[in-house]
């Protein structure tokens, strides 16, 4: 979190959509840009909405700039006072904001953050009591909800690991759905998957595949034992439809299913994770 700066400069008003100072916010719906953001290959990311921008300002991540509708300035003045003096706050009328970003701008504020260097997944795992490992989850809503559910139900002892095929947590929509928890919760991309499960097992984690498939045990019976077990847990969740890969299911130490009504197929992956976390943390 940056130190408050008593010499915070006034906002910079911009009337020209072509102003180069707004380049980080230009054409946010562009297909090439969105693909790069999805894959996490850009050094900067965009935070959208008041709550997410506030979280970014108070996070360890650097804020490159802020872009805000003039009518929202007073509402975020306290947060902007915590920005370093060198961080520009740009303000513009809505017509300019919509022209720059390429979409109907109704959330009031955007900020551009710097993601910094990636963290090694082994370091992330070493500091966690509980891991959520997302395999091949490309849906931004599900990634955002996984972070939100993990932060809310597992707390500060948890972390998230993602296989390389997953949507990047800094992707604008994923970050918004997480309501900023992607900026709070430790995470990293795990390589060598699923062979790297062996390293987690060696570090004391019990890997638990969440699957309605054969060989899985009832959540209620499993959770009763897990809550009394001091071992560290790694909960494995897979993409909608295919679920976890056969290789991951084969390497997992345990398999757990959520009892459902007759005829039901499966729950949304983020919802299923929330159910399991709520049972484990009781």
Domain boundaries along the sequence of the chain: 12-114, 121-280
Cα separation, 281 vs 158, in Å, equals 11
**Residue that the structure tokens 């850009």 belong to:** 42
Residue 12: C-alpha distances to residues 6, 19, 27, 94 (Å) = 17, 12, 21, 15
Q: How far is CA 182 from CA 5, 68, 216, in A?
A: 26, 22, 30
Q: With beta carbons less than 8 A apart as the criterion, state whether 253 and 207 touch.
A: yes
Architecture label for domain 121-280? 3-Layer(aba) Sandwich (3.40)
Query: How confident is the prediction along the chain (282 residues), in pLDDT tens digits per residue?
Result: 555 445 567 899 999 999 999 999 998 888 888 888 888 888 999 999 999 999 999 999 999 999 999 889 999 999 999 999 999 999 999 899 999 998 877 778 999 999 999 999 999 999 999 999 999 999 999 999 999 999 999 988 999 999 999 999 999 999 999 999 999 999 999 999 999 999 999 999 999 999 988 889 999 888 888 777 768 999 999 998 889 999 999 999 999 999 988 877 778 999 999 999 999 875
Report the candidate in 102, 114, 81 with the shortest Cα–Cα distance to residue 27.
102
- Which CATH class for the 12-114 domain? alpha beta
Comparing 12-114 with 121-280, is the CATH topology the same?
Answer: no
């Amino acid at each position: 979190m940056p130190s408050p700066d008593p010499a915070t400069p006034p906002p910079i008003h911009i009337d020209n959509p072509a102003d180069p100072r707004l380049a980080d916010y230009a054409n946010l719906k562009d297909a090439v840009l969105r693909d790069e953001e999805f894959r996490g290959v850009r050094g900067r990311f965009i935070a959208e909405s008041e709550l997410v921008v506030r979280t970014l300002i108070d996070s360890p991540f650097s804020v490159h700039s802020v872009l805000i509708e003039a009518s929202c300035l007073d509402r975020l003045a306290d947060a902007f006072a915590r920005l370093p003096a060198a961080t520009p706050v740009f303000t513009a009328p809505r017509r300019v904001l919509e022209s720059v970003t390429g979409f109907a701008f109704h959330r009031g504020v955007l900020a551009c953050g710097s993601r910094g260097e990636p963290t090694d997944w082994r370091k992330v795992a070493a500091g966690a009591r509980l891991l959520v490992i997302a395999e091949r989850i490309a849906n931004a809503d599900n990634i955002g909800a996984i972070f939100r559910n993990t932060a809310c139900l597992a707390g500060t002892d948890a972390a998230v690991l993602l296989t390389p095929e997953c949507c990047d947590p800094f992707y604008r929509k994923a970050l918004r759905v997480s309501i900023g928890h992607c900026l709070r919760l430790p995470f990293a991309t795990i390589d060598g998957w699923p062979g790297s499960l062996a390293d987690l097992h060696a570090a004391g984690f019990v890997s638990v595949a969440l699957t309605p498939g054969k060989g899985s045990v009832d959540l209620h019976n499993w959770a009763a034992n897990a809550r009394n077990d001091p071992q560290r847990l790694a909960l494995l969740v897979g993409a909608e439809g295919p679920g976890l890969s056969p290789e991951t299911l084969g390497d997992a130490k345990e398999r757990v299913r959520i009892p459902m009504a007759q005829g039901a197929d499966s729950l949304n992956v983020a919802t299923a994770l929330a159910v399991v976390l709520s049972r484990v943390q009781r």
